[in-house]
Amino acid sequence: MIEREEMQMILEQYSDLVVVSLNICAFVLGAWIIKVTRIKFINAFIVALLIVIMALQMLKIDYQTYAEGSKYISFLLGPSVVALGYMLHKHVSVIRRSIVPILISVSLGAIANILLVNVIFLAFDVDRSIIYSIQPKSVTTAIAITLSEQNGGIVPLTAIITAFTGILGSIIGPPLLRLCRITSPVARGLAMGTSAHGIGTARALELGAKEGAVAGLAIGLMGAITSLMLLFLKDFLVF
Amino acid sequence: MTKALIGLSIIFAMQLLGTLLSHFVIPILPGSVVGMILLFLALQLGWVKECHLDSVVSFFMSNMTIFFLPSAVGIITVMPLVSNNLFAIALSVVLSTIVVLLGVGFIQQYFDRKRGDANDS
């Protein structure tokens, strides 16, 4: 039987290992819960997030210790973003002949997204850091949180909002597109990938192979184009 | 094993190169995003072979979600600021997601129709 104090000591001494294990186990458990319950409005990521927060409370691990140990996991975000370049390459060959219209559509989408967020927050008079956190929300999370950090946003808020944006887009996307009579496979895939990044792409794949490929391409494009547009538009209309 | 290592070294080399470029030349884009563009260009130009990257990329792509779990847990440190602005946040997320979805859909469909391949699937 391990004494309580001894357990606390072990937690402190091996905190990095404990934290890394906690992250991975929480994620596996989250994925399993979603698989079993088939809940649609949250995903494994959100469940894992709740599990980690509860576990930190129960094990009395402070946030500083958690953040310290988690850097071994967060470090892999950078290479994941680079790996998206490969996906871009894979998909660009599928639709090479319509690349110019696609670039125009995604650019307009990126601009509309940033401006709309600015307008809404202008009406509510909120802290600027919140605006910067929400602007990249339609971009794939790895890039979104990089942009949020660079522009002075609140990184955790961006991570969560991006996940919810993906879930929302993947749920309302197909029925809304059908309702508005958007039937072209390229248009549907592009709309899903641009508005709802990876989660929308997974849903687009269920609509069809072409939709999926175009959505996959849209993830990387939206990431690169939003990065650029934020340079010019992040403070547009604000003040 | 060797292929995965080659792929991994390509990825990290691109990230390092992108980070250096971002640091010294174009500080406007994050290093990893520059790395993504560099990898894309290297593949397009045939400097890097797809087969070296297949397994590594598939690992990163299928497990990416867990890499940003720690970033999200930080929400416990900013909870008051977020809950005070919850309505504005929710409204902007819902509205802009719908506008981007339909906007991109309509514009792209217009282009597709103009080229006469709306039903080409």
Q: A46: number of CA atoms within 13 Å, CB side?
A: 16
List the one residue out of A155, A169, A145 whose CA is nearest residue A227.
A145
User: What confidence tens digit (pLDDT) does each residue in A175-225 have?
Assistant: 999 999 998 888 999 999 999 888 888 888 888 888 888 898 898 889 889
- Which residues of A are less than 8 Å from B73 in CB distance? 49, 52-53, 56, 63, 66, 70, 156
Given this model, what pLDDT does residue B120 score? 47
Cβ(B36)–Cβ(A224) below 8 Å: yes
List the one residue out of B110, B93, B10 whose CA is nearest residue A144.
B93
Question: What whole-number distance in Å separates Cα of residue A153 and Cα of residue A157?
Answer: 8
Cβ(A8)–Cβ(A51) below 8 Å: no
List the one residue out of B4, B18, B103, B84 whose CA is nearest residue A146.
B18
Q: Searching chain A, which residue's CA lies closest to the CA of residue B31?
A: A78
Buried residues in B72-99 as b, exposed as e (16+ CB within 10 A): bbbbeebeeebeebeebbeebbeebbbb
- Which residues of B are less than 8 Å from A84 in CB distance? 36
The H-or-E segment that residue A123 falls in is helix A99-124
Interface predicted TM-score (ipTM) of this complex, two decimals:
0.85
Cβ-proximal residues to B80 (8 Å cutoff; 6+ apart), any chain: none
Q: Searching chain A, which residue's CA lies closest to the CA of residue B97?
A: A195
Question: What whole-number distance in Å separates Cα of residue A4 and Cα of residue A58?
Answer: 13
Given this model, what pLDDT does residue B121 score? 44
List, as ranges, residues 25-84 from A with C-beta within 8 Å of B: 26-27, 44-45, 48-49, 52-53, 56, 63, 66-67, 70-71, 73-74, 76-84
Average pLDDT of span B61-89: 85
Cβ(B92)–Cβ(A121) below 8 Å: yes
Given this model, what pLDDT does residue B77 score? 85
Question: How far does chain A reach from its first CA to its final CA, in angstroms?
Answer: 62
Cβ(B35)–Cβ(B19) below 8 Å: yes
Average pLDDT of span B1-29: 88
Question: What whole-number distance in Å separates Cα of residue A162 and Cα of residue A85?
Answer: 20
Provide the greatest CA pair distance for chain A. 68
Our CA-based measurement puts residue A8 at a distance from the nearest CA of chain B, in whole angstroms, of: 21
Given this model, what pLDDT does residue B117 score? 52
Contact of A155 with chain B, judged by CB distance below 8 Å, is answered with yes
Our CA-based measurement puts residue A99 at a distance from the nearest CA of chain B, in whole angstroms, of: 11
Evaluate if residue B86 carries a pLDDT over 80.
yes
Provide DSSP, A209-228.
HHHHHHHHHHHHHHHHHHHH
Question: What whole-number distance in Å separates Cα of residue B98 and Cα of residue A195?
Answer: 8
Q: Pick the residue with more confidence: A9 or B59?
A: B59
Given this model, what pLDDT does residue B1 score? 60
Given this model, what pLDDT does residue B118 score? 44
- Interchain contact, A86 vs B50, CB within 8 Å: yes
For residue A37, how many other CB atoms are within 10 A of its CB?
Answer: 10
Which tokens belong to B18?
């992108």
Parts of chain A with a pLDDT under 50: none
